[in-house]
Structure 1
Amino acid sequence: MTLTRTQQSTLRMIAGGLTRVAPNNKTALALKKAGLVTFNPSFGWSCTKSGLEKNQELIGMRKPT
């Protein structure tokens, strides 16, 4: 599955856990539909196992600076 730049960024933010993503965020909802993230009302967005694997794949694709 190919992710857009916005989806990649949102997935990294959710996986990192440093920032909060709104519950009604359209990009996060698209990632949920793809099965990469889930929403828990008391905790917020979290990655599924496939979401964590996709995040690791994206980290490996990043060009070193």
Structure 2
Amino acid sequence: MTEIEERLAHLIRTVDDLSDTVARQDREIAVLTRRVEMLLYREAQRESEGTGGVVLGNEKPPHY
């Protein structure tokens, strides 16, 4: 009986540790998702304003 109780205690601790890990990863994913959305929004604004173009080869940027 003692062996079963020890194994159960170990399993409970493992499940708690895994639960904490999943919760932390969920928070990190939420933060990263917000950052990606912000970057996509900024890039969309930059494209609509016509700034942030790419200079190809020996083409001069528009401000020259």
User: Which one has the bigger helix percentage?
Assistant: 2
Scaled by the length of structure 2, the TM-score of the pair is 0.26
Q: Which of structures 1 and 2 has the larger relative contact order (alpha carbons within 8 angstroms, sep 6+)?
A: 1
Scaled by the length of structure 1, the TM-score of the pair is 0.26
User: Which one has the bigger strand percentage?
Assistant: 1
